[in-house]
Amino acid sequence: LPDEFEKARPVMQKIEAAGYEAYFVGGSVRDTIIGEKIHDVDIASSAYPEEIKKLFKRTVDTGIEHGTVMVLDNDKGYEITTFRTESGYQDYRRPDKVTFVRSLKEDLKRRDFTINALAMRENGEVTDLFGGIADIDKKIIRAVGNPNERFNEDALRMMRAVRFASKLNFNIEKETFNAIEKHSSLLEKIAIERIYVEFIKMMKGLKPKQGIDDMISTNMYLHVPLFADYRQQLSNISHFKNLNLNNEIEVWSLICFEFGLNREQISNFLKSWKASNEVINNTQTCCYALNAIQNDNMSDFLMYLTGENLLLEANYIASFYDCSIDNELLKKQYSSLPIKNKKQLAINGGILIKNGILKPGPMLGKALNAIEKQVVIGNLDNNTENIINFTKQYLKE
């Protein structure tokens, strides 16, 4: 058993000793059986939240309304969720009612895919009611129960199917695939924030080609913002060899660059996906740098404005367009910049004011920007006296 499971055993044993059932469930069981590293440990139990709270001294109500209590043990937190069924799926979204049940089977039945519907006791004994292990061996994503019904209940599951196919390099089983194709338009009922999460995980997966191709062949791509007009570009992305994206900025930058979006279009596109302002800004900066790399006019000042992380991310995306700069060279060039940010300037507004060179106001900001640029491009040594002399000269002109 993985370390994370070993550490959780005393918690599980305590629940069992009190006469309830407790199982590891969800992604951690799947990943353990596949042999992947696990990240979060989810535990399901026949005990009701109040019963869990009576058993342990330290608990936190992290999601008590849907049955989740966090148990704190040895500086670790374990989310324990009461077995439950879900009902009243309206608008093809999450259920509005959950019912606590005592039966593991009921809990596993509501789960999305067979590979995600496995449960494991603290002693390692696995419950596999829907052939999840066989599907892991066959490397397929198969809905639990009737796929048409399951996607009608919650259309996000279609996006999750594609996500797991990419993440694990599995194929979507035929009937499940057909049901997605049939219901792809239901995706429009789902909050874009939830699609966003699955989409990014898909793109960061082992085989994004699989995920993108599935989104195209099921027509799912027609039902997420902007993709409908860019089928060819999406297909181009899916054909890049060794695509191994590390974060959402790389994902969005690649997409925006391939789609040929300008600054404003990037902003509109990412706003329709409800991306954060930080993500929008970083993607714009990354794409701008990417253009400069492609056009062979990356300058010291643009490197400075881009920052090292985004610069390297842009250069990674550039590699798919066969125009990247040697990474070591780029790092060396960046590290030789006289300063990396404004704070490293040997001057600031306060010093200029104290020395009677400038008064607070718009001119101060303008002068500081000019100073910053001259220092970055190497025209002006970064020492206070030098800069004061430069500023006096600058103000005369």
68 interacts with, out of Mg ion, ligand ATP, none, CB within 5 to 8 A per kind: none
The one segment of 21-29, 75-83, 234-242, 354-362 that binds Mg ion by CB under 5 A: 21-29
Whichever of 26 and 49 has its CB closer to Mg ion, that residue is 26
User: Strand pairing partners for 279?
Assistant: none
Choices 149-157, 241-249, 321-329, 341-349 (CB under 6 A): range interacting with ligand ATP: 149-157
Residues touching Mg ion, count (CB under 5 A): 1
Nearer to Mg ion, 27 or 49 (CB): 27
Within residues 27-66, the interface with ligand ATP by CB under 6 A covers 27, 42
**How far is Cα 206 from Cα 169, in angstroms, rounded to an integer?**
6
157 binds, among Mg ion, ligand ATP, none (CB under 5 to 8 A by kind): ligand ATP
What single DSSP character describes residue 340?
S
Residue nearest to Mg ion (CB): 27
Q: Residue 42 is inside which H or E element, if any? A: strand 42-45
CB under 5 to 8 A by kind: which of Mg ion, ligand ATP, none does 67 bind?
A: none
Instruction: Please state whether beta strands 119-120 and 22-25 pair in parallel, antiparallel, or not at all (unpaired).
Output: antiparallel
- Residues 351-380 as x/- pattern, contact with ligand ATP by CB under 6 A: ------------------------------
Distances (CA, A) of 233 to 48, 57, 163: 50, 55, 19
Under rule CB under 6 A, residue 26 binds ligand ATP: yes
Rounded to 5 degrees, φ, ψ at 76 are: -115, 155
Give the integer Cα–Cα distance in Å for 38 and 27.
Answer: 8
Q: Which stretch binds ligand ATP (CB under 6 A): 129-137, 153-161, 259-267, 363-371?
A: 153-161
The length of the chain, given as a count of residues: 397
Binder among 47, 68, 92, 111 for ligand ATP (CB under 6 A): 111
Nearer to ligand ATP, 156 or 224 (CB): 156
Within 8 A by CB and 6+ apart from 270, the residues are 252, 256, 279, 280, 283
The residue range among 49-57, 154-162, 174-182, 212-220 that interacts with ligand ATP, by the rule CB under 6 A, is 154-162
Q: Which is nearer to Mg ion, 3 or 296 (CB)?
A: 3
The verdict on 27 binding Mg ion (CB under 5 A) reads: yes
Task: Return the one option of Mg ion, ligand ATP, none that residue 142 interacts with (CB less than 5 to 8 A, by type).
Answer: none
Q: Pick the closer one to ligand ATP by CB: 70 or 286.
A: 70
Q: Pick one of ligand ATP, Mg ion, none as the site partner of residue 116 (Cβ within 5 to 8 A by kind).
A: ligand ATP
Q: Give residue for tokens 């550490």.
A: 7
- State the CB neighbour count (10 A cutoff) for residue 386: 16
Member of 59, 116, 315, 324 binding ligand ATP (CB under 6 A): 116
Q: With contacts defined by CB under 6 A, name the span among 59-67, 111-119, 249-257, 262-270 that binds ligand ATP.
A: 111-119
* Touching ligand ATP, residues 204-243 (CB under 6 A): none
* Residue labelled with tokens 């049901």: 179
3-class secondary-structure state, position 212:
helix
Q: Give residue for tokens 């600058």.
A: 394
Give me the phi and psi of 323, to 5 degrees please: -135, 15
* Closest distance of CB 27 from Mg ion, Å: 4
Neighbours of 172 (CB within 10 A): 27
Under rule CB under 6 A, residue 112 binds ligand ATP: yes
Phi first, then psi: what are they for 141, rounded to 5°?
A: -100, 115
Least Å distance, CB 26 to ligand ATP, is 3
Q: Between 111 and 142, name the residue whose CB sits nearer to ligand ATP.
A: 111
Strand partners for 127: 119
If you search the block for the tokens 């999305």, which residue do you land on? 112
- Coil, helix or strand for 318? helix
Half-sphere exposure of 1 (CA within 13 A, CB side): 17
Shortest CB 15 distance to ligand ATP, Å: 19
236, 257, 262 from 315: Cα distances, Å: 18, 12, 18
Sign of CA dihedral 374, 375, 380, 386: positive
What is the binding site for Mg ion (CB under 5 A)?
27
What is the binding site for ligand ATP (CB under 6 A)?
26-27, 42, 111-112, 116-117, 154, 156-157
